[in-house]
Amino acid sequence: MRCLNKEKIMRPTIDADTLRSKIRDKSVRVLDIRKEEDYKQNHIPSAVNLPLANLLADDSPEKVLQFVQSFGIDDETPVVIYDDTFGALASRVAWTLQYIVHENVSLLDITFGTWKKMGLETSTEKLSFDKKNHSLKPRPEILATVDYLGSAKEKGAVLVDNRERLNFLENHIPGAINIPYRMLASTDNILRPKEELKRLIQNRNISPDAEVITYCGSVGTLSGLGYYALKSIGMENVKLYVRSFKEWKALEKPIERQNDANYWDLSAE
């Protein structure tokens, strides 16, 4: 079993002041996963650009490893990822890096838009870094496949659907619980305070030690945010069904529909 030095592992999210300090110390690699044209206009100082579309074009472990090494990231490099889309896109990239065994990853707890509104410094400089070596050992324990879902449900795993309420009501994986991604965020941060998230989970009758599998519509962005929301409150046994409902439906797996449900029933509050 792989041993992790917990002292070196960053928390799921990091605040702006802490990131600014790490940038000044040159002790972090920052990834901006917005579109290239947005990155060129301005970005957080020292950030390098990895558009999500580039990663999704081929998110095999080997290809992701090439990206990581080209940004000068080795096994020990702390990485912080941000977007301008309420953290969902950044979450997908963060999860992908952690899947290929880069543990030291955090999400910036605000979007780039909020960073600018706060008057924090930006840059237009495009940086490059010397390539570094990075090991590759995928972590199957954080990935759920369509084949895994069947056995996991039989063992009591909890399925969480992070799509909008209406999408969930129309059709979803049987037995899934709906926690729309919008319920995970606060006004200023990509995730609500921990105590609020804990209450959200408790009100859905999800045990803190349960195995939880998150999914969304297609590529694991909204459910990536759901994944990190659960990790942020200390839940250990969390997996991402990264191919999500798009794959489930394409394979003609069983689907549930809630015709009698109230759209406005957000009882997790």
In order, the DSSP letters of 182-203 are GGG--SSSSS--HHHHHHHHHT
Judge whether 50 and 121 are in contact, CB under 8 Å.
no
pLDDT of residue 262: 62
Asked if residue 206 is part of any domain, the answer here is: yes
What is the value of pTM for the model shown?
0.92
268 is a domain residue? no
Q: Of 133, 134, 130, 137, give the one whose Cα is nearest residue 71.
A: 130
Q: What is the pLDDT of residue 59?
A: 92
The upper half-sphere exposure of residue 191, i.e. CA atoms within 13 Å in the direction of its Cβ, equals 29
Q: Is residue 6 part of a domain?
A: no
Domain match, 105 and 185 both: no
Looking at residue 263, what is its pLDDT?
A: 57
Beta pairing, strands 105-108 & 13-14? parallel
Contact 193/211 with Cβ under 8 angstroms?
Answer: no
Q: Strands 238-240, 212-215: parallel, antiparallel or unpaired by DSSP? A: parallel
SS3 state at 48:
strand
238: domain CATH number is: 3.40.250.10
46 belongs to a structural domain:
yes
What is the C-alpha to C-alpha distance for residues 24 and 9, in angstroms, rounded to an integer?
Answer: 20
The parent domain of residue 212 ranges over 143-250
Which residues lie closer than 8 Å to 104 by C-beta, 6 or more apart?
Answer: 8, 9, 10, 76, 77, 78, 79
**Residues contacting residue 113 through CB under 8 Å, at least 6 positions apart:** 84
Q: Do residue 42 and residue 91 come from a single domain?
A: yes
How many degrees, rounded to 5, is the angle at CA 91 between CA 89 and CA 96?
A: 105
Give the pLDDT score at 266.
Answer: 53
What would the two tokens of residue 205 be? 């009758």
CB 261 within 8 A of CB 165: no
Beginning with the edge strand found earlier in the chain, give each strand of the sheet holding 158-161 in spatial order.
Answer: 177-178, 158-161, 212-215, 238-240
Whether residues 17 and 104 share a domain: the answer is yes
Kindly state whether residues 134 and 207 are assigned to the same domain: no
Task: Tell me which residues of the chain have a pLDDT lower than 70.
Answer: 1-10, 260-269
134 part of a folded domain: yes
Domain stops at, among 121, 139, 157: 139
Could you tell me if 84 and 175 lie in one domain?
no
Domain check: are 109 and 154 in the same one? no
Q: Which pLDDT does position 150 carry in this prediction?
A: 87
Count of domains for the chain? 2
Shared-domain flag, residues 109 and 151: no
Q: What is the mean pLDDT of the chain?
A: 92
Q: Evaluate whether residue 5 is within a structural domain.
A: no
